[in-house]
Amino acid sequence: MAADALLERVAALRSEIERHNQAYYVHDQPIIPDAEYDRLFRELQQLEAEHPELSSPDSPTQRVGGAPLAEFSQVTHGVPMLSLNNAFAEEEVAAFDRRCREGLGVEVVDYAVEPKFDGLAITLIYENGIFTCGATRGDGYTGEDVTLNLRTVRSIPLRLSGTAQPEHLEVRGEVLIFRRDFEKLNQQQRAAGLKEFANPRNAAAGSLRQLDPKITAQRPLRFFAYGVAASSAPLPETHAALMAQLHSRGLPVAEEAAAVSGLSGLLDYYARIGAARDSLAYDIDGVVYKVNRLADQQKLGFVARAPRFGIAHKFPAQEALTTVEAIEVQVGRTGALTPVARLAPVFVGGVTVTNATLHNEDEVRRKDVRIGDTVSVRRAGDVIPEVAAVVLEKRPGNAREFVMPATCPVCGSQVEKPADEAIARCSGGLYCPAQRKQALLHFASRRAMDIEGLGDKLVEQLVDHDIIKTPADIYRLDLGKLVNLERMAEKSAGNILVAIVQSKQTTLARFVYALGIRNVGEATAKDLARHFGSLDALIGAGEADLLQVSDVGPVVAASIVRFFAEPHNLEVIAALRGAGLAWQEGEAAAVVSSAVVGKTFVLTGTLPTLSRDQAKDMIEALGGKVAGSVSGKTDYVVAGAAAGSKLEKAQQLGISILDEAQLLEMLKT
């Protein structure tokens, strides 16, 4: 590539990638698939690797994190990072408004208002539009240099948008983690056997203060700007206009920010944001009021360690103390047993709380929650509150430990809890009323019994009207039972009955998958059907027999044995067979010889004549396996039109690539 063309391509890639970073991380509106983003990113990485002279500190490729630090260096803030004073009552807000009016000599003050983020305050320094330094608040006068870590935060632009940038710009803001990202992060912590984070704020603070930037790069940090500490260029007249200017330069600002007039405007905004608090993507602990005109801010000045022109109006605490009166167990849609603390009523987060989740038995043990304990209860969002901690100093002598029941409190089936899992589950999947809707939807799904028309809304009605209790009841439905349901015309009901009759002729693999045995997916169901050839042989198999099946390990084998050991499940299976469900027994015809036996395939793109399901079925019928992602264990990648990142990864790993014709030829061999 010619030098000019190379420079143009690198510049175009950087601009395009940052545009997509803004769309995804700032506006939450991605405009291209992840695979296309990855392709652009890899192309830029490759060009910069091949031409090191093109490397630049503002390139998106510099976000991945550098070498670990021994410790953070200190940064002295040119402008101190002072905290706001707090107001908790309307009277305190009224006093703030009065001081502002008197200090400015006006009847009504215009204010800029915004949510008070519950994160970690930071400052960002841009030189000629390029991000050069970032630091924490510290003690307000000296903070820690976390520049390398902040470079990994994708919502922080490494180069500001636009052409006319000030020589020096210092932006103040907050680093935080969205609630949905926090849940995913804790799921990853649990899966890795690591300690979970207590809340998004702690997770954000801990992530930003990692000495290894590569760890920070793996954390879902976000940034919002809320002010400017210094600028070599003139600033707009108002704080609201300043925020709009920062946003135009590519810095995220709170969408909920606004401008209001007078005390009534402040209190109305507080009430409005308070009502919307639980629906926000991030945690807030109040709202911030600032005099809108920057010249008026300068006139009012500062007192001690806080500005006179601003104040934080805090929300009521979302934690409170109460006592645990009992611990009961709830059974969820998937059979998961969840301990729930029944509490002495306590007012927290604006509502009276009487229940709090304890998540699972391991969590009860970890927090050592006992019946009779005094506990701190946390409420955040429209979800059941949780017990945050036990006040051990107040534990009574007769406090009782929680014991997980051995049988399901709903249906009486045995409770199972594998040694490597935290969640205990009811084993009566086909029978348990608590799991009824989930079991029926799975049973009727396309890859299981494929009963077209039996979807969420219809199953909801059938269960709520007590028409169906187990999958076997599906085959007892008639026109009279269906037409009386909401939005169910006679023709629609007839079509569903036809689909139910047609589903009676199935395959053993589909039927096994439809049973919803934990850890048994579609591929494993096919392996089981091929290996055992009959349902009775599978039901009678012990763990040692099951371990002879390809890809069935101890966990899967134990799940299968427990499922068929539950009498309730066997009763439903017998009822299904009695209703006329049938398949060809002896499906386990051994594959004598095939070019695909034991080989792992990955399908990508659109094949000329075969759907992916058809190609998958053909491969698996001859003893091959189909995986969803490319790895070192992949033998072949079958690529059609518009093949994406899977094809590229296969080429990088040197994996054999087949087209449809080559696949069909191999299947004949």
- Residues with catalytic roles: 116
Helix, strand, coil content of the chain in percent (nearest 5): 40, 25, 40
Termini Cα distance of the chain: 44
Distance in angstroms (rounded) separating the CA atoms of residues 582 and 472: 13
Complete DSSP assignment for 385-418: -EEEEE-GGG--TT-EE----SB-TTT-PBEE--
Strand arrangement, sheet containing 636-639: 625-627, 600-604, 636-639, 656-658
Report which DSSP code applies to 516: T
Bridge partners, residue 324, by sequence? 343
- How far does CA 527 lie from the centroid of its chain? 32
H or E stretch at 114: strand 110-117
Q: Is 142 exposed, middle or buried (0-12, 13-18, 19+ CB in 10 A)?
A: middle
Distance in angstroms (rounded) separating the CA atoms of residues 523 and 619: 12
Report which DSSP code applies to 587: -
Q: Are 505 and 475 in contact (CB under 8 A)?
A: no
Contacts for 303 with CB less than 8 Å, ≥ 6 apart: none
Report the amino acid identity of residue 79: V
Distance in angstroms (rounded) separating the CA atoms of residues 516 and 430: 8
Report the amino acid identity of residue 120: L
Distance in angstroms (rounded) separating the CA atoms of residues 528 and 200: 44
Match 């299981």 to its residue by tokens: 448
Distance in angstroms (rounded) separating the CA atoms of residues 503 and 491: 19
Distance in angstroms (rounded) separating the CA atoms of residues 603 and 638: 5
Phi, psi (deg, nearest 5) at residue 99: -65, -40
